[in-house]
Chain A
Amino acid sequence: MAVKFFGQYLIEKGAVTREALLKAIDLQERTNLKFGETVIQMGLMSAADIGKVHQAQRNQDLHFGDMAVQMGFLTDEQVQQVLTWQRNNHLYIGEALIKVGALTKAELANCLEQFKQDQNKYIVEKIEIPAGVPHQPIWEMVADLTYKMLTRVAGLSFRSGPCTIIDQLPKRPIIAEMGFSGSVSARYLLSVSEKTRKLVAKAILEEDSVDNEPIEVLDDSVKEFVNIVCGNVAAKASQLGHSIDISPPEMRPDSAEGISVPADHTGLMFPIYLSDGEVFELTIFVPNS
């Protein structure tokens, strides 16, 4: 039911054992060199200069290749050569499983086909993000997975409105939020009415009525919904080559004026309309650089 890692899917289906998967992952880690390791392998830089780039990366948020170009160790063309080398020599988990004898080529092809069908429901659909916002495909995916989970987990029927850039979030009684960090950082906020909170809680708790539940449990259900979305965003992002960590979900304290988008951030708001006229919002605070 969730976004899955191919190895996880194979174990769940009983196609490979845990031991075989770990063996294949070890082989992948020995084969798929990091950018700096590839640069050394290709004889483009010394280990000492690699260390200088790593040191500089602690003070400036740049990818290794961009930093190496900025410091004069590599040219743009050499960075492209390294990326091409990495792409051409990348060992995928399925190939690694064949190499360690856990799967045959035919079995892999069959499992990949089944995996694609299983994950079809998580193919990201096109959502327009305003021009100039960095990492647009990630925010498309965040909005799309939120919509998909609202349908699958919360069982809501809704219509999504166009994404707009905002300076201020409208005041809502309940705002659950979560932070993304790693190769992409942002704050994810889901602001809902009391009625929508109850709908989410009913679905998460699998109860017909939540009228007697304490507020803490209702809020916790909204936080858990946000946790499910953000965890699946991290999983989908890892399939796209991004490493995203998430922090535990929190509730935003009530703010009479609504919430202002922090300085140096862009606020992306995606309105969500329920069939009975209720509206709630997904908002993402994206750092500008």
Chain B
Amino acid sequence: MKRVLIVDDSIAVARQLEKIVASDDEFEVVGQGRNGAEAIKLCQQLKPDIVCMDMNMPVMDGLTALRSLIPMMPDLKVIMVTSLGGVGDKYTESIRLGAKDVISKPFEKESVLEQLRKLG
């Protein structure tokens, strides 16, 4: 079972994602963070396999967190889940920094699960 960490400043989105991820037996939600700084701390503590992370968050944004996370944990699979996914520069920067995928909001349940399964 893959261990998933969800990072989003929106309680509503975090809940929505948790529901989607937990609906598949292949995945288990191991924690939730509210910003990039919490994402780094929780990754060190919980050692998840996958992180689903928002881009636009207070305190520390998702791209800043991604810049630290990938060198620290090269095997970590990060998916950015963001309303900014369709902005070419943001998409490209995410992929360059090592994100495995970018899911645009609004998203559909099946597309999220499909992207997670693709991570292998």
Contacts and interface: CB of A to CB of B under 8 A. Distances in A.
Contacts of A235: 84-87, 104
Interface residues of A, number: 41
B16 interface: yes
Contact of B10 (A7, A224, A229): A224
Given A231-B82, A235-B85, A7 B56 contact: no
A205 B12 contact: yes
A234 B92 contact: no
A111 B24 CA distance: 31
Interface string B86-107: 1111011001100001101111
Contacts of B49: none
B104 A3 contact: yes
A238 B88 CA distance: 7
A231 B84 contact: yes
Interface in A6-25: 7-8, 11-12, 18, 21-22, 25
How many of chain B's residues touch chain A, expressed as a range? 20 to 34
B57 interface: yes
A201 B10 CA distance: 12
A206 B19 CA distance: 10
B16 A206 contact: yes
Contact of B104 (A8, A201, A223, A248): A8
A191 interface: no
Query: What are the nearest 8 A-B pairs in CB distance?
Result: A231-B83, A235-B86, A2-B104, A3-B86, A5-B88, A221-B12, A224-B10, A4-B86
